[in-house]
Structure 1
Amino acid sequence: MEGFWSHYILCLTMFLTLFHKLSHSQQEYLNQTALNCSSSPGISKGYLCDTGHLRSCNSIVTFRSRTQYNTAIEIAYLLGSEASKIAALNNLSSLVDKIPINKLIMVPVSCQCSGNIFQHSTPYTVVNGTYYFKIATETCQNLTTCQALIAQNYYDPINIPVGAVLIVPVRCACPSQNQTASGVVSLLTYTVEIGDTAVSIGKMFGVSEQRILEANMLSQDKKIYDHTPILVPLKMESCSTYPEMFFCNCSNGQLGNGTTGLTCILDDHGKKIPAKLVALLGVGIGFALLCLSLTGYKVYQWFNKRRIKIRKGGFFKQNGGLLLQEKVTYSGSQEKVLRIFTTAQHFVSTNQLSKF
């Protein structure tokens, strides 16, 4: 019995250790299994969510312009991004200008944890002769996989009806706890091209070879395969060495803040508004609104009194200069009606009442 409990405790400890490791580790390189379109359950559908850390983030994927997708609008439509952000991130002058074929384009996406897999979902309408493998490898340039498409949709992998709308899970990932602690602000999903190495990819994005290997849990002797995704950790500190990187400069000459999706903020040399000034502005605005409300109420009262005065004056004129008219009925065999009138100049006494 003691042996059973010791075995149980050992297994439980190993299980908890596995989850602890998952919450702090980087993502494992998926190699060529991502190109497999079989129904094997052992093939990964994407990057695992980091337990207890980021469940969503703004991420970036790379896409090489093709004949059908060579404008910011077309690429945005395919990958579910925003054309204006694509244009700004890649210094494109227009949303509809043609981009040179095979030019590497950075595409910002919103990365969410769906189940236990990170992904960015976007719709895709099927055209003639399209099947999962072609969508994954050609249309989306390996930013998704057959396995992920099969899991998200219910059509036969090789017999999808024309006009069907599929959900395409674009592969992305958020920084792990270790990466965030080390200054990584965003993970870029790059599709490996022929001849690429960890060194050449690092030079492309201002990242060291070691950081890329660590981000993908790779060793230096591990082979990187063509047409497979690899994660590139982006750090703002790289901008001091590689200021020409796309995530370092914005159109207004300000730095990018990766924690909010590489949006623009003032750098340390720019002018910042002091916190005290912000607080004073808030108090001042609140006081101004209060004064405005009180002033509006007083104006309303004044107009209301004026309206009543005008109405009384109108009634006064209608009654021939008389303000008050009242009927009084006496009890008895004969009904007698009295009228009491008050003029603007004097009060009429009771012995001047008229009988009817």
Structure 2
Amino acid sequence: MAALINNFYLRALFLFILVFVSTLGQSLLSCETSSRDASGYYCNGNGSQKQCGTFALLRTNSYYSSLFNLSFYLGIDRFLIAEANGFSADTELLPYNLPLLIPIECKCKAGFFQAELTKTTIEGESFFGIAESLEGLTTCKAIRERNPSIQPWGLADKVRLLIPLRCACPSSSELIQETKLLLSYPVSEGDTVPSLAFKFNTTSEAIISANNRSGATLRLGSLAPVSSLLIPLRDKPTLGSPAKPREPNLGLPATSIPVINPHKKKTKMWKIGVYIAVSGVAVGASVAIAAAVLVIHWKRKKQNAYKMGDVELQQLGLSVRTTSEKKVSFEGSQDPIDQIIDSTPHKIVVETYTMLELRKATEDFNSSNLIEGSVFHGRLNGKNLAIKHTHPEAISKIEFGLFHDAIHHHPNIMRLLGTCLNEGPDSYLIFEYAKNGSLKDWLHGGLAMKSQFIASCYCFLTWNQRLRICLDVAMALQYMHHIMHPCYVHRNIKSRNIFLDEEFNAKIGNFGMARCFEDDAEDSQPYSTASWSKGYLAPEYLHQGIISPTLDIFAYGVVLLEVLSGKTPITRADDKGGGRVWLPEKIKSILGSENTEELRDWMDSALGENYSFDAAITLANLARVCTDENPCSRPSAGEIVEKLSRLVEQLPEGEQFSICESSSKPLVKAAANSL
């Protein structure tokens, strides 16, 4: 019994230390902190150089998991990163938690050392979230000081921010001691000054001395996670020889073991307790915590005994509750639904609606509000909604853990706004509303188009619009495949699942519904959208059932071919209905013939001559590679984004969005896809 109490006492002490240390890091990161240390390291009056080249260490995470992410979102030259870390600049996907050396230029500005990066935001981000994603290499306060005219919360998409990284240049005394550079190091749980001194071949005294320039006295046991530390080095740091990162081919990317493991928590972790002998008060607090741990452990054990039934329905119950019409928010839950993307606690925010609200929004599901199939347009509290009738079983298959706080909202992914779960067969999903319907509507026509335009209206997407739509979709795939951890495979990319808002920005629908893929039931008549669906499926899935990011790339290639030709994925070989023509096979034949006129004749006639033929050839070749039978030969989403970005950059500015002869305003309602 004494041994058991002692064991709980030690665990409680350890928990107290972790909470105490973590609080220190979060307070420095906070936007409301008054600490001057949050602005950076002092550079006046310490005899330091005013400018120097150095490095920051950044571990790959769910925000920055590829060279493309680092280049596009932080403006860091991918060639410099590759050179600093000893791998090819052609590398795309990086192993999770891999320590990377980021070359930076550190300068003294307004009394503080800083190295500036240019951050391109994603809609919904915040200064605090950006600081957190960089693991303490910057702070919310420092970002606010460099961007005083921008609100720190709810950032718009593609805002350019100046991000000051914490850095410092060696002082004259450090130079005498042969310290050539100071590495900006993000502290992780379990790091201690002695362990870092051993790891980087320096001394504890040198680290403590280097960090006293911040105005706070560094001690052996006061390292706070999500904060930065200066590591004095005599030469460029060596992180070892990591295996060459590579793009996954036939499986989901596995988590690789980094060279430097920042999370060692075994035997040496207990020494932290010795170093942080906080005081006699800590001992008393630890005893209280130990008792609390015992009570909590007993209660959880008792609650677990009552947990029965289907796991999926239990997860659904956490996210969808019909007893309130308010937002449902759960923070720090230990249920597996919170662990789908990463291990960091987040808010899951899913709005719930009552049947009364939906009836009001749709005028009691009036036929005039019908968009297509079982999808209705609704308007509630001044907000347009797409309301889809479905079954409770389908809702139970949705991965609600993907729909957490605004950090993970992407401007090119259609948002699931809420649910209405009822007893019996009738339940509803409520989606973001896209005013201009689906890409399928515009390329092939559809109920949403026919119900809104007069028969004589000739409506089409211009070449510039088509290129931008293709780039938007590629950006969404790049986010799913390279930023999310683990990566997300959509499995149902097609023109019917790509929606257009009032500015013709594209958004991928059915995000988070990969497990509903087999339930995608449509009209089974020949050459209907159901038969088209086969035209999007990669050979490895059709024949072997293999699911990987390359499955989405193949389907995306088919969408590119639809955009180019205006044709459906599978068409009749002739007017008599004999045989079928698959777009990927057709483009191989056309490009193999070397007859440019054949490609011109194949292009969508709606475009006329109003497009760049050179760009069309580039796009056709990209589509051919995307639909290669060998998954290893297909490009990554990041590579596609880079190629399309160059094409879009060459487009003329100021295009007018006049796409219908009879109307200057697009009137098409959104078609939310069937599950």
Query: Which interval holds the TM-score relative to the shorter structure?
Result: 0.5 to 0.7
**Residues 37-85 of structure 1: CA distance to partner in whole angstroms, max 9, x if unpaired?**
1163755311111445411100110111124423334324444433223
Cα separation, partners in 2 of 1:231 and 1:93, compared to 1, 3 Å: same
What does 1:253-268 correspond to in 2, within 5 Å?
none
SS of the residue corresponding to residue 184 of structure 2 reads strand
Asked if structure 1 preserves the Cα contact closer than 8 Å seen for 2:25 and 2:226, the reply is: no
Asked if structure 1 preserves the Cα contact closer than 8 Å seen for 2:179 and 2:233, the reply is: yes
Cα separation, partners in 2 of 1:211 and 1:31, compared to 1, 3 Å: farther
Asked if structure 1 preserves the Cα contact closer than 8 Å seen for 2:115 and 2:165, the reply is: yes
What does 1:299-338 correspond to in 2, within 5 Å?
none
What does 1:1-356 correspond to in 2, within 5 Å?
33-38=27-32, 40=34, 42=36, 44-51=38-45, 53-138=48-133, 140-153=134-147, 154-217=149-212, 218=217, 220-236=219-235, 246=238
Cα separation, partners in 2 of 1:95 and 1:111, compared to 1, 3 Å: farther
SS of the residue corresponding to residue 39 of structure 2 reads coil
Asked if structure 2 preserves the Cα contact closer than 8 Å seen for 1:59 and 1:109, the reply is: yes
SS of the residue corresponding to residue 117 of structure 2 reads strand
CA distance in 2, matches of 1:220, 1:66: 28
CA distance in 1, matches of 2:205, 2:67: 33
Cα separation, partners in 2 of 1:96 and 1:221, compared to 1, 3 Å: closer
Structure 1 residue 227, shift from structure 2 partner: 1.3
The amino acid of 2:69's aligned partner reads E
Asked if structure 2 preserves the Cα contact closer than 8 Å seen for 1:73 and 1:96, the reply is: no
Report the equivalent of 1:262.
none
The amino acid of 2:29's aligned partner reads L
SS of the residue corresponding to residue 224 of structure 2 reads coil
**Residues 229-259 of structure 1: CA distance to partner in whole angstroms, max 9, x if unpaired?**
00000014xx9xxxxx51899xxxxxxxxxx
CA distance in 2, matches of 1:44, 1:112: 17
Cα separation, partners in 2 of 1:159 and 1:98, compared to 1, 3 Å: closer
What TM-score results when the alignment is normalised by the length of structure 1? Answer: 0.54
**Residues 136-184 of structure 1: CA distance to partner in whole angstroms, max 9, x if unpaired?**
112x222111111111111122233333211111111111121112111
Cα separation, partners in 2 of 1:248 and 1:177, compared to 1, 3 Å: farther
Cα separation, partners in 2 of 1:220 and 1:136, compared to 1, 3 Å: closer
The amino acid of 1:115's aligned partner reads A
CA distance in 1, matches of 2:35, 2:88: 45
SS of the residue corresponding to residue 184 of structure 1 reads coil
CA distance in 1, matches of 2:177, 2:75: 30
**Residues 260-308 of structure 1: CA distance to partner in whole angstroms, max 9, x if unpaired?**
xxxxxxxxxxxxxxxxxxxxxxxxxxxxxxxxxxxxxxxxxxxxxxxxx
Structure 1 residue 91, shift from structure 2 partner: 1.7
The percent identity for this pair of structures is 28
The amino acid of 2:28's aligned partner reads A
The amino acid of 1:128's aligned partner reads E
Report the equivalent of 1:267.
none
Structure 1 residue 108, shift from structure 2 partner: 0.9
Cα separation, partners in 2 of 1:32 and 1:174, compared to 1, 3 Å: farther
| Runs of at least 5 residues in structure 2 that lack an aligned partner in the other structure | 1-23, 242-675
What TM-score results when the alignment is normalised by the length of structure 2? Answer: 0.29
CA distance in 2, matches of 1:211, 1:39: 28
SS of the residue corresponding to residue 175 of structure 1 reads coil
CA distance in 2, matches of 1:248, 1:68: 24
Tell which structure's C-alpha radius of gyration is larger.
1
CA distance in 2, matches of 1:121, 1:219: 25
CA distance in 1, matches of 2:36, 2:62: 35
Structure 1 residue 123, shift from structure 2 partner: 1.4
Comparing both chains, which one has the higher relative contact order based on Cα–Cα distances under 8 Å and sequence gaps of 6 or more? 1
CA distance in 1, matches of 2:198, 2:75: 28
Cα separation, partners in 2 of 1:183 and 1:32, compared to 1, 3 Å: farther
Structure 1 residue 191, shift from structure 2 partner: 0.6
Count of aligned pairs: 212
Structure 1 residue 197, shift from structure 2 partner: 0.7
Which range moved further: 151-160 or 81-90? 81-90
Structure 1 residue 207, shift from structure 2 partner: 1.6
The amino acid of 2:139's aligned partner reads T
Report the equivalent of 1:347.
none
Which range moved further: 119-128 or 214-223? 214-223
The CA RMSD over aligned residues, in Å, is 2.6
CA distance in 1, matches of 2:197, 2:220: 16
Structure 1 residue 219, shift from structure 2 partner: 5.4
**Residues 101-152 of structure 1: CA distance to partner in whole angstroms, max 9, x if unpaired?**
10111111011111111111121122121011001112x2221111111111
